[in-house]
């Protein structure tokens, strides 16, 4: 049985394609099983790598993976696609240091949305496509699916989340980057995806819709719906979502998910 060492936590930085500095909080076990670039939650406007350190450090300790927590630029001062560019920079940083180990991308809540967009952008650029390990990402700016109306008083409520989407999304389109994978004509060519969401989470139906689309396009997909769990469970001291994410990282298939993939012929353009 592999022994997991306590992770060493250090600060580093990357540089986004638009020249912006990207601070990174890195939790690295002595002999990591792989690298996961993580984007924290916070409705695209709040949170930080430091605030999420108990989560990301705990994930490194539980899983034996090095966790690269991204201090991405927040809305409304920095709108889409700035945060996606920051996660892409962190992925490139981790790839340079991975020494052949798998590099995947993950995130919780709004960070999961950003991570999914980054993986899709890598696919469309014909670059190395990371697997995704996502926890309750909202994926529909209109918040239109039934789960948003299912529970009175559930967090996040539909009105607040729709307002958060509007604050993040810029009126200027980013033609080579999509804010949500549900806007992509096809999801073919993505690496496998692991999704975790609670049964009582308003974003549940978004996550299920993503899983359905992925499977329809032939992408190996796991979906775990945690009974009785709501949104933001990773921040709970007794988080069940954290255990589910660590378990997803133990899947043997993740060791095969860091290979270059050709650019799909149905896509046009590449990100700058």
Catalytic residue annotation: 109, 201, 231
How far lies 34's CA from each of 80, 143, 220, 241, 255, in Å?
Answer: 28, 34, 19, 20, 8
Sign of the dihedral through C-alpha 202, 213, 36, 140: negative
HSE-CB for 243 with a 13 A CA cutoff = 9
Residues contacting residue 138 through CB under 8 Å, at least 6 positions apart: 109, 110, 112, 113, 156, 161, 165, 203, 206
3-state helix, strand, coil in the chain (%, to 5): 35, 20, 50
Neighbours of 160 (CB within 10 A): 12
DSSP per-residue letters across 112-159:
HHHHHHHHHHHHHTT-BPPPEEEES----TT--STHHHHSTTPSSPHH
Answer yes or no: are the C-beta atoms of 272 and 17 closer than 8 Å.
Answer: yes
| CA atoms of 169 and 42, how far apart (whole Å) | 15
Phi, psi (5° rounding) for residue 164? -65, -40
């Amino acid at each position: 049985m592999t022994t997991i060492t306590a992770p060493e936590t250090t600060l580093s930085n990357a540089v986004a394609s638009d020249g912006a500095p990207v601070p990174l909080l890195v939790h690295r076990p002595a002999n990591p099983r792989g690298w996961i670039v993580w984007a924290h939650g916070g409705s695209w406007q709040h949170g930080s790598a430091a605030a999420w350190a108990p989560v990301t450090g705990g994930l490194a300790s539980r899983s034996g993976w090095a966790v690269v927590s991204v201090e991405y630029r927040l809305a409304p001062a920095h709108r889409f696609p700035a945060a996606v560019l920051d996660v892409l920079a962190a992925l490139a940083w981790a790839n340079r240091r991975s020494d052949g180990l798998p590099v995947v991308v993950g995130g919780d809540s709004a960070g999961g949305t950003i991570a999914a967009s980054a993986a899709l952008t890598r696919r469309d650029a014909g670059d190395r496509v990371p697997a995704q390990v996502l926890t309750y990402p909202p994926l529909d700016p209109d918040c239109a699916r039934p789960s948003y109306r299912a529970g009175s008083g559930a967090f996040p409520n539909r009105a607040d989340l729709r307002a958060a989407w509007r604050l993040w999304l810029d009126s200027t389109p980013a033609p080579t980057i999509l804010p949500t994978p549900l806007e992509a004509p096809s999801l073919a060519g993505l690496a496998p995806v692991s999704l975790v969401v609670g049964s009582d989470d308003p974003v549940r139906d978004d996550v299920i819709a993503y899983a359905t689309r992925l499977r329809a396009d032939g992408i190996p997909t796991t979906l775990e719906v945690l009974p009785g769990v709501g949104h933001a469970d990773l921040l709970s001291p007794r988080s069940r979502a954290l255990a589910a994410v660590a378990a997803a990282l133990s899947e043997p298939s993740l060791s095969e998910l860091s290979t270059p993939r050709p650019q799909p012929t149905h896509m046009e353009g590449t990100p700058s």
